[in-house]
Structure 1
Protein backbone atom coordinates (compact mmCIF):
# COMPACT_ATOMS: atom_id res chain seq x y z
CA UNK A 1 0.00 0.00 0.00
CA UNK A 2 1.32 3.43 -0.93
CA UNK A 3 2.29 5.96 1.72
CA UNK A 4 -0.42 8.64 1.82
CA UNK A 5 0.81 12.25 1.96
CA UNK A 6 -0.71 15.69 2.50
CA UNK A 7 1.19 18.77 1.31
CA UNK A 8 0.81 21.99 3.31
CA UNK A 9 2.39 25.11 1.81
CA UNK A 10 0.96 28.51 0.91
CA UNK A 11 2.85 28.51 -2.40
CA UNK A 12 1.03 26.58 -5.13
CA UNK A 13 4.24 26.20 -7.14
CA UNK A 14 5.95 24.45 -4.22
CA UNK A 15 3.03 22.07 -3.73
CA UNK A 16 2.98 21.33 -7.46
CA UNK A 17 6.69 20.57 -7.51
CA UNK A 18 6.50 18.31 -4.48
CA UNK A 19 3.44 16.48 -5.87
CA UNK A 20 5.21 15.84 -9.16
CA UNK A 21 8.24 14.36 -7.37
CA UNK A 22 6.30 12.25 -4.87
CA UNK A 23 3.58 10.94 -7.19
CA UNK A 24 6.31 9.71 -9.54
CA UNK A 25 7.26 7.13 -6.89
CA UNK A 26 5.26 3.87 -6.97
CA UNK A 27 5.11 3.68 -3.16
CA UNK A 28 4.08 7.30 -2.50
CA UNK A 29 0.77 9.07 -3.13
CA UNK A 30 -0.24 12.68 -2.47
CA UNK A 31 -3.86 12.54 -1.29
CA UNK A 32 -4.41 16.17 -0.37
CA UNK A 33 -3.09 19.72 -0.34
CA UNK A 34 -3.60 22.76 1.88
CA UNK A 35 -2.50 26.38 1.54
CA UNK A 36 -2.62 27.23 5.26
CA UNK A 37 -2.18 25.54 8.62
CA UNK A 38 -5.85 25.40 9.58
CA UNK A 39 -6.80 23.73 6.30
CA UNK A 40 -3.89 21.31 6.71
CA UNK A 41 -5.07 20.31 10.19
CA UNK A 42 -8.62 19.77 8.92
CA UNK A 43 -7.32 17.69 6.02
CA UNK A 44 -5.17 15.59 8.34
CA UNK A 45 -8.12 14.93 10.64
CA UNK A 46 -10.40 13.89 7.78
CA UNK A 47 -7.88 11.89 5.72
CA UNK A 48 -5.46 10.66 8.40
CA UNK A 49 -2.45 10.49 6.05
CA UNK A 50 0.76 8.70 6.88
CA UNK A 51 2.89 11.82 6.39
CA UNK A 52 2.19 15.55 6.45
CA UNK A 53 4.76 17.70 4.66
CA UNK A 54 4.44 21.14 6.24
CA UNK A 55 6.00 24.52 5.57
CA UNK A 56 6.97 26.55 8.64
CA UNK A 57 5.63 29.86 7.35
CA UNK A 58 1.91 29.62 6.55
CA UNK A 59 -1.10 31.89 7.18
CA UNK A 60 -3.76 31.29 9.87
CA UNK A 61 -1.67 28.60 11.60
CA UNK A 62 2.06 28.29 11.07
CA UNK A 63 3.97 25.05 10.74
CA UNK A 64 5.09 25.09 14.38
CA UNK A 65 1.59 25.19 15.80
CA UNK A 66 0.44 22.70 13.18
CA UNK A 67 3.21 20.29 14.18
CA UNK A 68 2.22 20.62 17.82
CA UNK A 69 -1.48 20.02 17.09
CA UNK A 70 -0.76 17.01 14.89
CA UNK A 71 1.66 15.29 17.29
CA UNK A 72 -0.77 15.74 20.19
CA UNK A 73 -4.05 14.85 18.53
CA UNK A 74 -2.98 12.64 15.60
CA UNK A 75 0.17 10.82 16.74
CA UNK A 76 -0.03 8.34 13.86
CA UNK A 77 0.57 11.19 11.37
CA UNK A 78 4.26 11.90 10.87
CA UNK A 79 5.16 15.54 10.26
CA UNK A 80 8.11 16.49 8.07
CA UNK A 81 8.89 20.21 8.23
CA UNK A 82 10.13 22.08 5.18
CA UNK A 83 11.94 25.37 5.64
CA UNK A 84 13.87 28.01 3.75
CA UNK A 85 16.02 28.01 6.91
CA UNK A 86 15.98 31.72 7.51
CA UNK A 87 14.57 31.23 11.02
CA UNK A 88 16.74 28.88 13.07
CA UNK A 89 14.66 29.38 16.21
CA UNK A 90 11.58 28.08 14.39
CA UNK A 91 13.44 24.93 13.47
CA UNK A 92 14.56 24.34 17.06
CA UNK A 93 11.02 24.86 18.37
CA UNK A 94 9.59 22.42 15.85
CA UNK A 95 12.18 19.86 16.96
CA UNK A 96 10.81 20.11 20.46
CA UNK A 97 7.22 19.83 19.21
CA UNK A 98 7.81 16.42 17.68
CA UNK A 99 8.51 16.89 13.97
CA UNK A 100 9.93 13.74 12.39
CA UNK A 101 12.16 15.36 9.83
CA UNK A 102 13.49 18.57 8.34
CA UNK A 103 14.21 19.55 4.77
CA UNK A 104 15.36 22.62 2.95
CA UNK A 105 13.05 23.64 0.13
CA UNK A 106 15.99 23.53 -2.22
CA UNK A 107 16.81 19.92 -1.30
CA UNK A 108 17.28 17.45 -4.12
CA UNK A 109 14.31 15.33 -5.18
CA UNK A 110 15.96 12.20 -3.82
CA UNK A 111 16.27 13.80 -0.38
CA UNK A 112 12.57 14.70 -0.33
CA UNK A 113 11.60 11.14 -1.24
CA UNK A 114 13.97 9.64 1.32
CA UNK A 115 12.65 11.90 4.09
CA UNK A 116 9.03 10.96 3.42
CA UNK A 117 9.86 7.27 3.34
CA UNK A 118 11.86 7.54 6.54
CA UNK A 119 9.01 9.31 8.34
CA UNK A 120 6.48 6.73 7.16
CA UNK A 121 8.72 3.97 8.50
CA UNK A 122 8.89 5.63 11.91
CA UNK A 123 12.40 6.89 11.33
CA UNK A 124 13.49 10.46 10.71
CA UNK A 125 15.81 12.35 8.44
CA UNK A 126 17.32 15.79 8.82
CA UNK A 127 18.99 17.47 5.86
CA UNK A 128 22.77 17.41 6.41
CA UNK A 129 22.88 21.16 5.81
CA UNK A 130 20.38 21.72 8.62
CA UNK A 131 22.23 19.33 10.92
CA UNK A 132 25.54 21.12 10.45
CA UNK A 133 24.08 24.60 10.77
CA UNK A 134 22.17 23.74 13.94
CA UNK A 135 25.19 21.98 15.40
CA UNK A 136 27.35 25.02 14.68
CA UNK A 137 24.83 27.32 16.33
CA UNK A 138 24.44 25.18 19.42
CA UNK A 139 28.20 25.04 19.85
CA UNK A 140 28.34 28.83 19.82
CA UNK A 141 25.23 29.37 21.94
CA UNK A 142 24.96 26.62 24.54
CA UNK A 143 21.37 25.93 25.54
CA UNK A 144 20.18 24.61 28.87
CA UNK A 145 18.66 21.17 28.48
CA UNK A 146 17.07 18.97 31.15
CA UNK A 147 19.26 16.35 32.78
CA UNK A 148 18.39 12.77 31.76
CA UNK A 149 16.03 10.88 34.04
CA UNK A 150 18.78 8.27 34.28
CA UNK A 151 22.46 8.54 33.26
CA UNK A 152 23.15 7.56 29.65
CA UNK A 153 25.33 4.53 29.11
CA UNK A 154 28.43 4.92 26.90
CA UNK A 155 26.62 3.07 24.09
CA UNK A 156 23.55 5.30 24.43
CA UNK A 157 25.80 8.34 24.22
CA UNK A 158 27.31 6.97 20.99
CA UNK A 159 23.88 6.34 19.50
CA UNK A 160 22.63 9.77 20.56
CA UNK A 161 25.67 11.48 19.02
CA UNK A 162 25.17 9.69 15.70
CA UNK A 163 21.47 10.59 15.68
CA UNK A 164 22.44 14.24 16.15
CA UNK A 165 24.81 13.99 13.21
CA UNK A 166 21.92 12.96 10.97
CA UNK A 167 22.57 9.23 10.58
CA UNK A 168 19.70 6.85 9.93
CA UNK A 169 19.16 3.65 11.92
CA UNK A 170 20.93 1.57 9.30
CA UNK A 171 23.85 4.02 9.23
CA UNK A 172 24.14 3.89 13.02
CA UNK A 173 24.05 0.11 12.99
CA UNK A 174 26.84 -0.02 10.42
CA UNK A 175 28.92 2.52 12.33
CA UNK A 176 28.62 0.68 15.65
CA UNK A 177 28.42 -2.88 14.25
CA UNK A 178 25.01 -3.54 15.80
CA UNK A 179 21.68 -4.59 14.30
CA UNK A 180 18.89 -2.20 13.33
CA UNK A 181 16.75 -3.77 16.05
CA UNK A 182 19.39 -2.98 18.66
CA UNK A 183 19.56 0.60 17.42
CA UNK A 184 15.79 0.91 17.86
CA UNK A 185 16.07 -0.45 21.41
CA UNK A 186 18.69 2.17 22.26
CA UNK A 187 16.53 4.91 20.73
CA UNK A 188 13.52 3.85 22.80
CA UNK A 189 15.60 3.98 25.98
CA UNK A 190 17.03 7.37 25.02
CA UNK A 191 13.56 8.79 24.39
CA UNK A 192 12.44 7.63 27.83
CA UNK A 193 15.53 8.91 29.65
CA UNK A 194 15.52 12.27 27.87
CA UNK A 195 11.73 12.63 27.92
CA UNK A 196 11.48 13.38 24.19
CA UNK A 197 9.01 12.19 21.56
CA UNK A 198 11.35 10.89 18.89
CA UNK A 199 14.89 10.80 17.48
CA UNK A 200 14.68 14.43 16.47
CA UNK A 201 14.14 15.30 20.12
CA UNK A 202 17.23 13.23 20.92
CA UNK A 203 19.20 15.29 18.41
CA UNK A 204 17.95 18.55 19.93
CA UNK A 205 19.04 17.39 23.37
CA UNK A 206 22.49 16.41 22.11
CA UNK A 207 23.00 19.74 20.35
CA UNK A 208 22.04 21.62 23.51
CA UNK A 209 23.99 19.43 25.94
CA UNK A 210 27.40 19.65 24.29
CA UNK A 211 27.69 15.86 24.04
CA UNK A 212 28.97 16.06 20.47
CA UNK A 213 31.72 18.48 21.47
CA UNK A 214 32.76 16.26 24.38
CA UNK A 215 32.99 13.18 22.18
CA UNK A 216 34.94 15.03 19.49
CA UNK A 217 37.38 16.44 22.06
CA UNK A 218 37.88 12.99 23.55
CA UNK A 219 38.54 11.50 20.11
CA UNK A 220 41.02 14.28 19.34
CA UNK A 221 42.86 13.66 22.58
CA UNK A 222 43.14 9.93 21.89
CA UNK A 223 44.64 10.57 18.45
CA UNK A 224 47.35 12.89 19.79
Structure 2
Protein backbone atom coordinates (compact mmCIF):
# COMPACT_ATOMS: atom_id res chain seq x y z
CA UNK A 1 0.00 0.00 0.00
CA UNK A 2 1.29 3.43 -0.91
CA UNK A 3 1.72 5.84 1.99
CA UNK A 4 2.62 9.46 2.58
CA UNK A 5 5.13 9.76 5.41
CA UNK A 6 5.64 13.09 7.15
CA UNK A 7 9.26 14.06 7.68
CA UNK A 8 9.01 13.63 11.47
CA UNK A 9 7.87 10.05 11.06
CA UNK A 10 10.68 8.93 8.75
CA UNK A 11 12.96 7.64 11.50
CA UNK A 12 10.08 5.75 13.11
CA UNK A 13 9.13 4.19 9.79
CA UNK A 14 12.67 3.04 9.07
CA UNK A 15 12.97 1.62 12.57
CA UNK A 16 9.81 -0.41 12.06
CA UNK A 17 7.77 1.58 14.60
CA UNK A 18 4.34 2.42 13.26
CA UNK A 19 5.00 0.69 9.91
CA UNK A 20 7.90 0.47 7.46
CA UNK A 21 8.42 2.38 4.22
CA UNK A 22 6.90 0.49 1.32
CA UNK A 23 6.78 0.80 -2.45
CA UNK A 24 5.51 4.13 -3.59
CA UNK A 25 5.97 6.05 -0.34
CA UNK A 26 6.05 9.85 -0.44
CA UNK A 27 8.55 10.73 2.27
CA UNK A 28 8.23 14.22 3.70
CA UNK A 29 4.58 14.58 2.72
CA UNK A 30 2.93 16.36 -0.19
CA UNK A 31 0.04 18.69 -0.86
CA UNK A 32 0.10 18.13 -4.63
CA UNK A 33 0.64 14.37 -4.88
CA UNK A 34 -1.41 11.44 -3.68
CA UNK A 35 -0.94 7.69 -4.07
CA UNK A 36 -2.81 7.58 -7.38
CA UNK A 37 -0.75 10.33 -8.97
CA UNK A 38 2.43 8.76 -7.63
CA UNK A 39 1.45 5.50 -9.32
CA UNK A 40 0.87 7.39 -12.57
CA UNK A 41 4.38 8.87 -12.37
CA UNK A 42 5.73 5.35 -11.95
CA UNK A 43 3.87 4.22 -15.07
CA UNK A 44 5.08 7.21 -17.10
CA UNK A 45 8.68 6.68 -16.04
CA UNK A 46 8.47 2.94 -16.63
CA UNK A 47 11.24 2.01 -14.20
CA UNK A 48 9.19 0.11 -11.64
CA UNK A 49 8.20 1.27 -8.18
CA UNK A 50 10.13 3.97 -6.37
CA UNK A 51 9.87 6.19 -3.32
CA UNK A 52 9.63 9.96 -3.64
CA UNK A 53 11.43 12.25 -1.19
CA UNK A 54 10.12 15.80 -0.82
CA UNK A 55 13.24 17.97 -1.08
CA UNK A 56 11.51 21.31 -1.72
CA UNK A 57 8.09 22.88 -1.12
CA UNK A 58 7.46 26.45 -2.25
CA UNK A 59 7.10 28.97 0.57
CA UNK A 60 5.99 32.61 0.40
CA UNK A 61 8.89 34.86 -0.56
CA UNK A 62 11.05 32.07 -2.00
CA UNK A 63 13.17 32.73 -5.09
CA UNK A 64 15.09 30.54 -7.51
CA UNK A 65 18.00 30.62 -5.05
CA UNK A 66 15.87 28.75 -2.49
CA UNK A 67 14.85 26.18 -5.10
CA UNK A 68 18.47 25.54 -6.08
CA UNK A 69 19.66 25.38 -2.48
CA UNK A 70 17.18 22.59 -1.81
CA UNK A 71 17.06 20.70 -5.12
CA UNK A 72 20.57 20.94 -6.61
CA UNK A 73 22.67 17.79 -6.63
CA UNK A 74 19.78 15.49 -5.72
CA UNK A 75 19.95 13.38 -8.88
CA UNK A 76 16.79 12.58 -10.83
CA UNK A 77 13.76 14.58 -9.70
CA UNK A 78 10.10 15.22 -10.37
CA UNK A 79 8.89 18.83 -10.27
CA UNK A 80 5.16 19.41 -9.62
CA UNK A 81 3.46 22.74 -10.33
CA UNK A 82 -0.07 23.84 -9.50
CA UNK A 83 -0.81 26.75 -11.84
CA UNK A 84 -3.70 28.99 -12.84
CA UNK A 85 -4.12 30.47 -16.33
CA UNK A 86 -5.60 33.84 -17.26
CA UNK A 87 -9.06 32.29 -17.49
CA UNK A 88 -8.95 31.13 -13.89
CA UNK A 89 -8.52 27.44 -14.73
CA UNK A 90 -6.18 25.43 -12.49
CA UNK A 91 -3.83 22.70 -13.68
CA UNK A 92 -1.38 20.27 -12.09
CA UNK A 93 1.63 19.82 -14.37
CA UNK A 94 5.32 19.09 -14.07
CA UNK A 95 8.43 17.47 -15.41
CA UNK A 96 10.88 14.65 -14.87
CA UNK A 97 14.57 15.59 -14.93
CA UNK A 98 16.90 12.55 -15.06
CA UNK A 99 19.90 14.74 -14.21
CA UNK A 100 20.64 16.84 -11.13
CA UNK A 101 19.59 20.46 -11.06
CA UNK A 102 22.48 22.87 -10.62
CA UNK A 103 23.50 26.51 -10.95
CA UNK A 104 26.13 25.80 -13.58
CA UNK A 105 24.59 28.31 -15.97
CA UNK A 106 24.14 26.05 -18.95
CA UNK A 107 22.11 23.49 -20.82
CA UNK A 108 22.01 19.78 -20.20
CA UNK A 109 22.43 18.82 -23.86
CA UNK A 110 21.38 15.29 -24.85
CA UNK A 111 22.74 14.56 -28.30
CA UNK A 112 21.91 10.84 -28.27
CA UNK A 113 18.39 9.43 -28.20
CA UNK A 114 19.17 7.17 -25.24
CA UNK A 115 19.92 10.33 -23.24
CA UNK A 116 16.55 11.91 -24.04
CA UNK A 117 14.61 10.44 -21.13
CA UNK A 118 13.17 13.62 -19.61
CA UNK A 119 9.47 14.30 -20.03
CA UNK A 120 6.74 16.77 -19.13
CA UNK A 121 3.27 15.80 -17.96
CA UNK A 122 -0.19 17.15 -17.28
CA UNK A 123 -2.40 15.53 -14.66
CA UNK A 124 -5.44 17.76 -15.24
CA UNK A 125 -5.71 17.08 -18.98
CA UNK A 126 -3.83 13.77 -18.86
CA UNK A 127 -0.87 13.83 -21.24
CA UNK A 128 2.84 13.17 -21.31
CA UNK A 129 5.35 15.02 -23.52
CA UNK A 130 8.70 13.33 -24.13
CA UNK A 131 11.86 14.76 -25.65
CA UNK A 132 11.80 14.82 -29.44
CA UNK A 133 14.10 12.14 -30.87
CA UNK A 134 16.87 12.70 -33.41
CA UNK A 135 14.88 10.88 -36.10
CA UNK A 136 12.87 14.07 -36.56
CA UNK A 137 13.79 16.24 -39.57
CA UNK A 138 15.63 18.57 -37.16
CA UNK A 139 17.70 16.09 -35.12
CA UNK A 140 18.82 18.77 -32.66
CA UNK A 141 15.35 20.05 -31.73
CA UNK A 142 14.91 17.70 -28.79
CA UNK A 143 18.45 17.80 -27.45
CA UNK A 144 17.98 20.69 -25.01
CA UNK A 145 16.81 18.82 -21.93
CA UNK A 146 17.03 21.30 -19.03
CA UNK A 147 18.64 24.67 -18.30
CA UNK A 148 20.53 25.40 -15.09
CA UNK A 149 21.19 28.90 -13.72
CA UNK A 150 20.78 30.80 -10.46
CA UNK A 151 18.37 33.29 -12.05
CA UNK A 152 15.72 30.78 -13.05
CA UNK A 153 13.78 27.98 -11.40
CA UNK A 154 13.30 24.58 -13.06
CA UNK A 155 13.41 24.97 -16.83
CA UNK A 156 12.72 22.26 -19.42
CA UNK A 157 13.41 22.62 -23.13
CA UNK A 158 14.45 25.52 -25.32
CA UNK A 159 10.90 26.84 -25.87
CA UNK A 160 11.02 26.97 -22.93
CA UNK A 161 8.64 24.05 -22.89
CA UNK A 162 8.12 24.65 -19.16
CA UNK A 163 9.91 27.22 -17.03
CA UNK A 164 9.53 28.80 -13.60
CA UNK A 165 10.74 32.39 -13.31
CA UNK A 166 13.22 33.66 -10.71
CA UNK A 167 10.51 34.79 -8.27
CA UNK A 168 8.89 31.34 -8.42
CA UNK A 169 5.48 32.95 -8.90
CA UNK A 170 5.10 32.65 -12.69
CA UNK A 171 5.42 29.80 -15.19
CA UNK A 172 5.49 29.78 -18.99
CA UNK A 173 5.10 26.99 -21.52
CA UNK A 174 6.01 27.10 -25.22
CA UNK A 175 6.36 23.61 -26.64
CA UNK A 176 9.52 23.14 -28.72
CA UNK A 177 11.81 20.38 -27.45
CA UNK A 178 9.15 18.06 -26.03
CA UNK A 179 6.09 16.34 -27.46
CA UNK A 180 4.85 16.34 -31.06
CA UNK A 181 7.04 18.66 -33.20
CA UNK A 182 3.92 19.67 -35.13
CA UNK A 183 2.55 21.19 -31.91
CA UNK A 184 5.43 23.64 -31.57
CA UNK A 185 4.31 26.81 -29.81
CA UNK A 186 1.49 25.22 -27.83
CA UNK A 187 1.35 25.20 -24.04
CA UNK A 188 1.64 21.83 -22.33
CA UNK A 189 -0.64 23.31 -19.65
CA UNK A 190 -3.79 24.48 -21.47
CA UNK A 191 -2.74 24.00 -25.14
CA UNK A 192 -2.95 27.76 -25.77
CA UNK A 193 -0.65 29.26 -28.41
CA UNK A 194 -0.04 32.72 -27.00
CA UNK A 195 2.71 31.94 -24.49
CA UNK A 196 0.59 33.35 -21.68
CA UNK A 197 1.95 33.66 -18.16
CA UNK A 198 0.62 31.21 -15.56
CA UNK A 199 0.37 31.99 -11.86
CA UNK A 200 2.06 29.42 -9.63
CA UNK A 201 -0.10 28.39 -6.67
CA UNK A 202 2.12 25.55 -5.47
CA UNK A 203 5.40 23.84 -6.28
CA UNK A 204 7.07 20.71 -4.96
CA UNK A 205 10.24 18.89 -5.98
CA UNK A 206 10.86 15.21 -5.24
CA UNK A 207 14.02 13.18 -5.51
CA UNK A 208 13.73 9.49 -6.33
CA UNK A 209 15.00 6.54 -4.34
CA UNK A 210 14.69 2.86 -5.21
CA UNK A 211 12.46 0.65 -3.12
CA UNK A 212 14.73 -1.44 -0.86
CA UNK A 213 14.68 -5.18 -1.36
CA UNK A 214 13.00 -7.02 1.55
CA UNK A 215 16.33 -8.47 2.68
CA UNK A 216 18.00 -5.07 2.63
CA UNK A 217 15.14 -3.55 4.62
CA UNK A 218 15.34 -6.32 7.21
CA UNK A 219 19.10 -5.86 7.55
CA UNK A 220 18.66 -2.09 7.95
CA UNK A 221 16.09 -2.52 10.69
CA UNK A 222 18.19 -5.19 12.42
CA UNK A 223 21.26 -2.97 12.25
CA UNK A 224 19.39 -0.04 13.77
CA UNK A 225 18.14 -2.34 16.52
CA UNK A 226 21.69 -3.44 17.35
CA UNK A 227 22.84 0.18 17.50
CA UNK A 228 19.94 1.02 19.81
CA UNK A 229 20.85 -1.94 22.08
CA UNK A 230 24.50 -0.85 22.25
CA UNK A 231 23.41 2.68 23.08
CA UNK A 232 21.24 1.44 25.96
CA UNK A 233 24.05 -0.71 27.38
CA UNK A 234 26.46 2.23 27.31
CA UNK A 235 23.90 4.42 29.03
CA UNK A 236 23.44 1.80 31.78
CA UNK A 237 27.21 1.60 32.36
CA UNK A 238 27.41 5.37 32.76
CA UNK A 239 24.55 5.37 35.30
CA UNK A 240 25.73 2.24 37.08
CA UNK A 241 22.49 0.37 36.48
CA UNK A 242 22.26 -3.29 35.51
Same fold, judged at TM 0.5 (above): no
TM-score (norm 2): 0.29
Compare CA radii of gyration and give the structure with the larger one.
Answer: 2
Structure having the higher helix fraction is 1
- Indicate the structure whose relative CO is greater, using CA pairs within 8 Å and at least 6 residues apart: 2
Please identify which structure carries the higher strand content: 2
